[in-house]
Amino acid sequence: MSALRFSDTISAALTDGILVVTIDNAPVNALSSDVRAGLAAAFEYAEKDDAVVGVVLTGAGSSFIGGADIKEFGKPPVEPHLPDVISRIEAFAKPVVAAINGAGLGGGLEVALACHRRLAAPSAKLGFPEVKLGIVPGAGGTQRLPRLIGIAAAIDMIASGRIVSAAEALKLGIVDSVSNNILLADAIADAKSISAAAVRRTGYLSIPSGTVEAIEKAASDALRKARGQRAPAEAVRLVRLAATAPLLEGLAEERRTFITLRDSEEAAALRHVFFAERAAGKVEGLEAVAPRKIETIGIVGTGLMGSGITVSALNGGYRVIGIEQNAEAAEKGRDRIAGLLDKAVQSGRVDAAGREDRLSRLTVTADMQQLVQADIVIEAVFDDLAVKTELFQRLDGIVRADTILATNTSYLDPDVIAAATKLPERVLGLHFFSPAHIMRLLEVVNCKKTAPDVLATALALAKRLGKLPVVSGVTEGFIGNRIFSAYRREAEYMVEDGASPQEIDAALEAYGFPMGPFAVFDMAGLEIAWARRKRQAATRDPSERYVVIADRLCEAGRFGQKTGRGWYAYPEGNRTVDPEVTAMIEAARAEKGIVPKSFTADEIVSRLLKAMVDEGDTLLSEGIAARASDIDLVMINGYGFPASKGGPMFAAGRR
């Protein structure tokens, strides 16, 4: 048995009449032009050599095939095209078996669907994540998957981008078996057992019958969740087409749609987000630094924030010691955490056994000495400098010397907190977003003295928590709140200049934000920002433009939604324009002699985008943010900036 090579990334070996073709294109075996050319050559060889009676296709490393090569999108296409390679595999005269050893995503699953049988390792993961990139599958996924699993199930998977486990793939009928032995050996035996006459070609199968109700429900659920995005709606249309159109017609329509979407602004933005996410959390010089081992996490404070962080840590498989001020508060904290886990069970995110397992790893106590067991302590107490500094000094006397101390502050200076401790190099900030067990964003605040391995540990921890870590330097409010403050300031300037809050909100909502800024202020409550402005009043530069309207609202007791009134009124919970606010705005303009002018929606968006980008540029020049794409991720994942626009820095560059 000698090794054959068909391209840099495709090799093969003949075992017992079966040609085992291996794709080795690290890191994820994406279908680059070299892979496609190598596959075409391998099948050419397998067709001509009579010693080959069947083919097994597999991936080297931990992926089967991670999909089309996203880096090639936006470049001129190079032959052979993926749909042609895939058609050739499907039509191949000798049996072809996919040995799915790991992730088989997008184009990777399309290759597997074209094979005549599919065997998966238990760790395999399958799905079509294309919609998350603003596209639809472009090499047969929308036409072949429904022929295996039915229209409703295919709509559910393709329009959502949901990834399924090997076990679920077996249940759905995507794979023929899950191998608990040696996958390759099973696949070779399988390929040998099928006679060439009996191969089952997915594209030639008729679609399993399903009820009209199930299909309509899957379609309407998918469209509702898509909230106006194009790709999921096109995915639904294409899967439905599979029911009526012959294979070739369906494939041609799918390819046309794929190319149109691939070349769209939305897809370019989502590709930017994809690569931004992979770049985030990478810190120059930190590659060779080993993170410390974390098994037990101490969390001081089990209120709203602390309980969310606790659930997140339990989900990550850690043991958690929650600390409260007394036994009664500890009991309440534990109930709050158990309540969040109950909700996770109700929504199907965790099963009953998973809930029990998590609770078995949790202790909530008033005995702070127990933190001697903790490898990292995260504080989530009241955001007050004196309270946090005093807590860190106490922790200094309790925890081990190698324990990391993290503060979850939103606005305080973690360098000041660190300086009050004996070992400031073990201190850093972890700025979670609320609700902490749901929100993916985590700002990791690298303080002046934070040791490299402490930072590396926080990044590794974030990854295990399933978070998206973005490193920020120390500045008031870190990356997100600095930009949000600039956005708030500009929005208020525009109100003074003549735009109404509802015009601004409508423009931003049409742009893709779930809520405009004034609706967000009302939802979050106006009093915290008011208190900050009062604190800053004495040191504020008197020549700086200052808008008093928000202060007037607070003075009138209008603290936002929870008081029923803020920038808007909320009769029966419905956001409505309040003439009283309109009068306050007009009065504030008149006091400054401002003649109100009108703004188009595009002008509103442009001005707010510019305010965010200017502040973003300042953060980059100050070295607070490492890269523009980090700023985009923070605004998308923490502040509702539409991912389909790629974040403020990306969007401004495209305008």
Give the interface with ligand 3HC as residue ranges (CB under 6 A): 27-28, 30, 63, 66-71, 82, 103, 105-107, 110, 129-130, 133, 137-139, 141, 275, 278
For residues 457 and 469, the answer to whether their CB atoms sit within 8 Å is no
Min dist CB 467 to ligand 3HC, Å, is 13
Nearer to ligand 3HC, 272 or 575 (CB): 272
Helices (H) and strands (E) in the chain, counts: 26, 19
* Minimum distance, C-beta of residue 198 to ligand 3HC, in the bound complex (Å): 29
In angstroms, give the least distance from the CB of 107 to ligand 3HC: 3
Separation of alpha carbons 233 and 226, rounded Å = 7
CA of 253: how far to CAs of 139, 239, 249, 256, in Å? 11, 11, 6, 5
Q: Is 277 a catalytic residue?
A: no
Can you tell me whether residue 151 is helix, strand or coil? Answer: helix
User: Please, which residue, 271 or 558, has the CB nearer to ligand 3HC?
Assistant: 271
Ordered DSSP codes for 200-227 = --GGGSPPPP--HHHHHHHHHHHHHHHT
Q: What is the nearest approach in angstroms of ligand 3HC to the Cβ of residue 408?
A: 26
The β-bridge relationship of strands 96-100 and 117-120 is: parallel
Residue with Cβ nearer ligand 3HC (27 or 246): 27
Least gap, CB of 102 to ligand 3HC (angstroms): 8
Q: How far is CA 142 from the centre of its chain?
A: 24
Judged by beta carbon, residue 235 or residue 550, the one nearer ligand 3HC is 235
Q: Which is nearer to ligand 3HC, 82 or 455 (CB)?
A: 82
- Give how far Cα 142 sits from Cα of 69, 228, 613, Å: 19, 20, 39
Torsion sign (Cα): 589, 594, 597, 599 = negative
User: Smallest gap, in angstroms, from Cβ of residue 19 to ligand 3HC?
Assistant: 25
Contact 433, 408 (CB under 8 A): no
Distance from C-alpha of 573 to C-alpha of 561, rounded to nearest angstrom: 8
Nearer to ligand 3HC, 120 or 508 (CB): 120
Which residue, 25 or 179, has its beta carbon nearer to ligand 3HC? Answer: 25
Q: Which is nearer to ligand 3HC, 103 or 231 (CB)?
A: 103
Q: Check: CB of residue 312 under 8 Å from CB of residue 305.
A: no
Q: How far is the CB of 258 from ligand 3HC (least distance, A)?
A: 6
Cα-based distances in Å from 622 to 258, 417, 647? 41, 21, 20
Supply the minimum distance, in Å, between the C-beta of residue 41 and ligand 3HC: 20
Task: For residue 374, count other CB atoms closer than 10 A to its CB.
Answer: 26
Dihedral sign for Cα 591, 597, 602, 603, please: negative
Cis peptide before 571 (omega within 30 of 0): no
In the set 72, 90, 130, 331, the catalytic residue is: 130
130 is catalytic: yes
| CA proximity to 317, closest of 365, 363, 354 | 354
DSSP state of 266: H
* Per annotation, catalytic residue among 44, 79, 90, 110: 110
Residue 4 CB neighbour total at 10 angstroms: 17
Q: For residue 125, what are the β-bridge partners?
A: 103, 165
Shortest Å distance, C-beta 382 to ligand 3HC? 37
Q: How far is the CB of 73 from ligand 3HC (least distance, A)?
A: 8
Contacts of 242 (CB under 8 A, 6+ apart): 142, 143, 146, 147, 151, 154, 207, 250
Beta strands in 233-336 (DSSP E): 296-300, 319-323
**Residue 87 or 502: which CB sits closer to ligand 3HC?**
87
The CA-based diameter of the chain, rounded to the nearest angstrom, is 91
Nearer to ligand 3HC, 107 or 203 (CB): 107
Residues 6 or more apart whose Cβ sits within 8 Å of residue 183: 58, 99, 100, 101, 119, 120, 121
Q: In terms of Cα–Cα distance, which of 544, 541, 550 is closest to 584?
A: 550
The gap between the terminal CA atoms of the chain, to the nearest Å, is 58
CB of 435 to ligand 3HC, least distance (A): 24
Residues 12 and 23: beta-carbon distance below 8 Å? no
* CA atoms within 13 Å, Cβ hemisphere of 314: 31
CA 43 to chain centre: 37
The secondary structure element, H or E, covering residue 113 is helix 107-114
Catalytic residues: 110, 130
